[in-house]
Structure 1
Amino acid sequence: MLALVAAAAIVVAGLVGWLWWRGDGTLRRGSGERIRPREVALPDDAFGTTATLLLFGSQQDERTATTRDRLLALVEGRDGVRLAEVDLTARGDLAGRYAVTRTPSVFAIDGRGRLVGRVKGAADDATLRAALDTALGAAS
């Protein structure tokens, strides 16, 4: 009987882990809530006038640096589009407030400051581009 309970616990833990992992790197619809730069401990001018990609990362996570480089390449040369970054190493309190469960996470924010998309975990270039397109599309 004990072996059966242990096996069931392993299966349940595996299923929970798989469900947790499954959302990694996918673009999901944002809540539409308005986020202001000061609410995420950034200066008032940190967000773009047209769109912002808000990166929640960690100094200890090498995927954050890779994602930052990809996002910088996406926003480069685009008027009114910015990359803003929150270091959760220093501001861990913001992870709970914005339900950031994995680093890096990217929020796509339109020109009015509304959260229109979010990517949890490391994502490929196409997904990051889609996040930016979502923010730009919401702005028009």
Structure 2
Amino acid sequence: MERLSPGMLGAGARLGERATLVQFSSAFCQPCRATRRTLAEVAAMVEGVAHLEVDAEEHLTLVRELEVTGTPTVFVLDARGRIVRRATGQPRKADVIAALGAAVEASPAAAGPE
């Protein structure tokens, strides 16, 4: 799977205009809480970036399709929902910012019209 749509991520999910940080979490995952804070901070820093948290236990089919083997697992999507980066474990803020830069560069606005 190369792309994620809002419908795959849950009711009411909306992708960011420039990029989206998708976090797969589980209820008792301590690193998931710190990851949530880090991703929310980065999303707030960059206009047009959304942070979505997905409960892995409620989306088992998607977890299997994406081969998510642990939480937190983070996917960085460009504006079209294409997976640009993926990481498992608690990310460092600098790494999230760098991955987000790659997603924004891959976005339709950066690439021009199709």
TM-score (norm 2): 0.85
Structure 1 alignment gaps of length 5 or more: 1-30
Gap change, CA 1:77 and 1:130, over 3 Å in 2:
closer
Range with bigger deviation, 53-62 or 85-94: 85-94
CA positional deviation for 1:77: 4.3
Report what 2:49 is aligned to.
Answer: 81
The residue aligned with 1:122 is 90
Q: Aligned partners of 1:112 and 1:38: how far apart in 2? A: 13
The correspondence of residues 22-33 of structure 1 with structure 2, limited to 5 A, is 33=2
C-alpha distance in structure 1 between counterparts of 2:75 and 2:11, whole Å = 14
Number of equivalenced pairs: 108
1:101 is displaced (CA, Å) by 1.0
CA RMSD, 1 decimal: 1.6
Max Rg structure: 1
Choose the corresponding residue for 1:65, options 28, 33, 53. Answer: 33
In 2, distance between residues paired with 1:54 and 1:62?
A: 17
- Report the counterpart of residue 5 of structure 2 in structure 1: 36
**Normalized against structure 1, the TM-score is what?**
0.70
**Superimposed CA distance per residue, residues 88-136 of structure 1 (whole angstroms, 9 cap, x where no aligned partner):** 1322332101111111011010011111111112222222222211211
The answer for unaligned runs of 5 or more in structure 2 is: none
